[in-house]
Structure 1
Amino acid sequence: MVESMARGVFEDGKHVVSELRIEAKTSSDYPPPPKPLLIATPSEEGEYPVLVFLHGYLFFNNFYSQLLRHVASHGFIVLAPQLYQVAGPDSSNEIKSVAATTDWLSDGLPCVLPTQVRPNLHKLALAGHSRGGKVAFALALGHANTSLKFSALIGIDPVDGMDKGKQTPPPVLTYMPHSFDLNMAVLVVGSGLGELKKNPLFPPCAPKGVNHEDFFNECCAPAWYFVAKDYGHVDMLDDETKGLRGRTSYCLCKNGKERKPMRRFVGGVVVAFMKAYLEGDFGDLTTLKEEPEVAPVVLRNIDFLV
């Protein structure tokens, strides 16, 4: 019975999901968002917690459509801004854009959701993948101010730089254990293959010294840490990512055999974590800690500070 409860978060939830695409343009009907948005939301009437999700470096938010829908199917509104089309090494503008998007939520989000769906902005989480994970941590650490308070932070294979294992501006890691003063619960998910090269021509996509291990080492309690042993840095993306950027996701990073198990794991552990820290239900998260074999991937590392 306990095992089946935990396995449930790795499967689609009970909610029918609607996918919305909101453009960043002037509208007389509602205040426009600062950036284009991809939103996955339950369709049924109700009030739901909200997750802001940040894409990885040079990726599109729609590369994560299956992951966003998985999380939304468990009763969460998930919105992913498209932070840029082209970007250099400095992520300062992205941090400001996420802050502006967060400030937009109070007035703008209720206007674009189905009329029967209500966001609960008192239960607000922030997540990011790769460079988006760095941006999420930077915002939580106060690199920009927001009018709303986040209650939970999630780094999905976060990376604080891609230049030979060095940080890119603005730096986030301090290399001092437990130095992050976040005042919120944190989940860090890592990929076991992310620190390995795909081939001699390209560096690892999540190199040691700036990756998930370093982010978790600087967290304070409460913090949770899971590393999927045989999966890579982009294995939580959709099964098929199209276009030139989509094709690069297959050839630049060392990958697992298929994306679905890693995506199911990431979606499930995110759901379990948010159920725990936004809704007070620790059942699935505790089961995953005590019985890691319920996960659809083999876990190399499990650690927690509570």
Structure 2
Amino acid sequence: MSTNSIFQVGKHKVLLLRLEPDTFCFSSSTSRPPSLNSPPKPLLIATPSDEGEFPVLVFIHGYLLFNSFYSQLLQHVASHGFIVVAPQLYQVAGPDSRDDIKSAAETTDWLLEGLSAVLPTNVRPNLSKLGISGHSRGGKVAFALALGHANTLLKFSALMGIDPVDGMDKGKQTPPPILTYVPHSFDLKMAVLVVGSGLGEVKKNPLFPPCAPKGVNHEDFFNECCSPAWHFVAKDYGHLDMLDDETKGIRGRASYCLCKNGKEREPMRRFVGGVVVAFMKAYLEGDSRELAALKDDPEIAPVVLRNVDFL
């Protein structure tokens, strides 16, 4: 496989399943009857449809965003042989993310009994190869879960923060604070990928703060990681540029005007999808070729990279 292929759609056909607590509503049907074990939160699941056993990724959406806004990104990752489970943690929320962390932990525990029952009969999740990822405030939640702010029955083996944010700025962290501002203080016992946006720390207009301000953004999260940790920053792209090309509704329209954006979303989304695939292949499947090649030659990425760091 050439490294460029991680930035393209993979070889697996993908089903996108929507699952609600207490009821089972799918965008695509499965041949297996629904499980009686209902998920704690609405789920969007992107899964390969062809036969096989696949690692699993739990993906946490950003603040006041919908999991459906990440449909294209989730399908990109799934097409390379991963099952992606994206809960909708809330519809409306305040600054405190402790309930988010609790809900993410409950969703993770649900995987043990619930996930296999809602997948196609020929698709098997490998929960011994489990990753956790999140975007923006969801990245903070992913770090919190990996750091043990809530207990889970399953063990994560890889952590991915996609432009993670821990508050409005340094000194104004939202509860619970995750950053300690002590270098290499995160005792994670797993590999970490941190993806940053070069424009995330730039104001879109004077009425709103930057979406990923200095002091609480990807740089700070990476600085507190221990080896092995990877840090990639897309120079000319913004905090929401990994979302779907079209995000509908009031919140979807707001995603175009609240944050400084790049010219288009597609390159950033392909980059995020590709680097997540490369990272999971390396740390969940033991194949580091694509990740090493990207480190050695950043120009193969579909975006210009400002930083490529490795601990």
Gaps of 5+ in 2: 25-33
Tell whether 2:139 aligns with 1:114. no
Tell whether 2:290 aligns with 1:290. no
Instruction: Measure the CA separation in 2 of the matches of 1:262 and 1:26.
Output: 35
Instruction: Measure the CA separation in 1 of the matches of 2:232 and 2:97.
Output: 26
Instruction: Measure the CA separation in 1 of the matches of 2:299 and 2:246.
Output: 27
Is the 2:169–2:213 Cα contact (8 Å) retained in structure 1?
no
For 1:248, give the aligned amino acid: A
For 2:275, give the aligned amino acid: V
CA-to-aligned-CA distance 1:60-99 (integer Å, 9 cap, x gap): 0000000000000000000100000000000000000010
Query: Any residues of structure 2 matched to 1:20-35 within 5 Å, and which?
Result: 20-25=17-22, 29-35=35-41
Query: Any residues of structure 2 matched to 1:59-138 within 5 Å, and which?
Result: 59-138=65-144
Instruction: Measure the CA separation in 1 of the matches of 2:36 and 2:218.
Output: 38
Tell whether 2:255 aligns with 1:243. no
What's the offset of the Cα at 1:289? Answer: 0.1
Match of 2:146 in 1: 140
Instruction: Measure the CA separation in 1 of the matches of 2:299 and 2:41.
Output: 40
CA-to-aligned-CA distance 1:159-197 (integer Å, 9 cap, x gap): 001267721000000000000000000000000000000
Change over 3 Å in CA distance of 1:242–1:220 after alignment to 2? same
For 1:24, give the aligned amino acid: P
2:189 to 183, 188, 207: 183
Is the 1:59–1:245 Cα contact (8 Å) retained in structure 2?
yes
Is the 1:42–1:76 Cα contact (8 Å) retained in structure 2?
yes
Tell whether 2:233 aligns with 1:210. no
1:253 to 259, 277, 284: 259
For 2:87, give the aligned amino acid: P
Is the 2:35–2:114 Cα contact (8 Å) retained in structure 1?
no
Is the 1:129–1:158 Cα contact (8 Å) retained in structure 2?
yes
1:280 to 282, 286, 290: 286
Instruction: Measure the CA separation in 1 of the matches of 2:35 and 2:178.
Output: 38
Instruction: Measure the CA separation in 2 of the matches of 1:137 and 1:93.
Output: 14
For 1:297, give the aligned amino acid: V
Change over 3 Å in CA distance of 1:86–1:154 after alignment to 2? same
Match of 2:275 in 1: 269
CA-to-aligned-CA distance 1:238-275 (integer Å, 9 cap, x gap): 00000000011000000000000000000000000000
Tell whether 2:165 aligns with 1:159. yes
Q: SS where residue 79 of structure 1 aligns?
A: strand
Instruction: Measure the CA separation in 1 of the matches of 2:183 and 2:2.
Output: 34
Instruction: Measure the CA separation in 2 of the matches of 1:217 and 1:24.
Output: 38
Instruction: Measure the CA separation in 1 of the matches of 2:129 and 2:285.
Output: 8
Is the 2:169–2:216 Cα contact (8 Å) retained in structure 1?
no
Instruction: Measure the CA separation in 2 of the matches of 1:166 and 1:290.
Output: 37
Instruction: Measure the CA separation in 1 of the matches of 2:211 and 2:116.
Output: 37
Q: SS where residue 9 of structure 1 aligns?
A: helix
Match of 1:15 in 2: 12
Tell whether 2:303 aligns with 1:303. no
Tell whether 2:236 aligns with 1:230. yes
Q: State the identity as a percent.
A: 79
2:59 to 44, 49, 53: 53
Corresponding pairs, count: 302
TM-score (norm 2): 0.95
Instruction: Measure the CA separation in 2 of the matches of 1:29 and 1:130.
Output: 32
CA-to-aligned-CA distance 1:103-126 (integer Å, 9 cap, x gap): 110100000001110000000000
Instruction: Measure the CA separation in 1 of the matches of 2:54 and 2:36.
Output: 21
Gaps of 5+ in 1: none
Q: CA RMSD in A?
A: 1.1
Is the 1:63–1:237 Cα contact (8 Å) retained in structure 2?
yes
Q: SS where residue 309 of structure 2 aligns?
A: strand
Q: SS where residue 154 of structure 1 aligns?
A: strand
What's the offset of the Cα at 1:6? Answer: 1.1
Is the 1:71–1:78 Cα contact (8 Å) retained in structure 2?
yes
Instruction: Measure the CA separation in 2 of the matches of 1:39 and 1:86.
Output: 21
Q: SS where residue 51 of structure 1 aligns?
A: strand
